[in-house]
Amino acid sequence: MSRKILLTSLVAALALTLTAADEKKTETKRSASGPLQPQMNPDFDKSEGTLGEKGEKQWSDTTVKAGVDGKPLQGKTVSVTGEIIDLSCYLQLGKHGEKHKACGSKCIAAGEPVGLVTKEGGIYMLIAEEHDPRRDGQTSFRKAAGDHFAQVMEVTGTETSVRGIHTIYVQGFVNK
C-alpha cells in the first residue's frame, strides 16, 4: 500500500514538473515573437527621431553620489530603437500604437511608467538618468516621452538589467 502511495506521489510530482517546464517554454516563445497585439504595430523600420544623449560617462555625478558607497549598479551605454509605450497598458492589455495614443499619453502624463518595445518584442523601462534632478522633479524626460508616444524612436542611455527588468536611463533632460 505505501509503495502505491509513493509511486503515485512520484508520478504526480513528475507531471507537475513537466507541466511547469512546458508552461515556461510557452511563455518564452510568446515573449520572443515580437510586440503584443501585432495589429497595432508601427513601422519599426522607420525611426522618427532620437531621445537621449550619449554622455561622457555612463552615470552623471548626482547618480554616482547617490549610489551606495558612491557606486551605482553596473551599466552600459546603448542605443535601442523601438516604440515609446506606457508600460501599464502594454503589460496589462497589450495596447500600444497610434490607436492607443490618447490613452497612453494620459497614462504617461499621470505618472505611469514609460517604456520602449522593440521590433523583436524586447521591453525596456525608460527613466531620466540624472538622479537628484529626477527625484526633485527637475527633468523633462516624461514630457518628451509623452510627446513622442507611439512613435518609433532611437533611445540612447545607460542600460541596466536587474532580475529580468531591463531599464535604459536616458540623459539630457535636466531642466535648465
Considering the domain architecture, whether residues 16 and 79 belong to the same structural domain is answered as no
Domain identity same for 53 and 140: yes
Mean pLDDT of the chain: 85
Residues 134 and 97 in one domain: yes
In a domain, 154, yes or no: yes
Task: Categorize the per-residue pLDDT at 32 as very low, low, confident or very high, splitting at 50, 70 and 90.
Answer: low
Q: What distance in Å separates the CA atoms of residue 141 and residue 174, rounded to the nearest whole number? A: 8
pLDDT at 23 exceeding the cut of 60: no
Give the closest residue to 59 by CA, choosing from 145, 141, 168: 168
User: 74 and 136 share a domain?
Assistant: yes
pLDDT tens digits along 106-164 = 999 999 999 999 999 999 999 999 999 999 999 999 999 999 999 999 999 999 999 99
My answer on whether 115 and 132 are in the same domain is yes
Instruction: Give the rounded distance of the alpha carbon of 174 from its chain centre.
Output: 21
Domain count, the chain: 2
One-letter amino acid of 164: G
Grid cell locating 120? 523583436
Tell me: do 26 and 65 sit in the same domain: no
d(CA 84, CA 118): 9
3-state secondary structure of 81: strand
In a domain, 176, yes or no: no
Asked if the model's pLDDT at residue 57 lies above 70, the reply is yes
Range of the domain at 118: 38-170
Look at residue 175 and tell me if it is in a domain.
no
Q: Using CA atoms, how far apart are residues 121 and 102, in angstroms rounded to an integer? A: 22
Task: Could you list the beta-strand ranges (E) of 21-175.
Answer: 50-51, 76-86, 114-117, 123-128, 152-162, 165-170
Domain identity same for 17 and 51: no
Angstrom distance (rounded) from CA 161 to CA 158: 10
Q: Are residues 5 and 81 in the same domain?
A: no
Nearest by Cα to 54 from 162, 176, 160, 159? 159
Report the alpha-carbon distance of residue 121 to residue 32 in Å, rounded. Answer: 6
| Domain co-membership, 119 together with 132 | yes
Q: What is the pLDDT of residue 6?
A: 45
Mark whether 7 and 94 lie in a shared domain.
Answer: no
- Domain annotation covers residue 87: yes
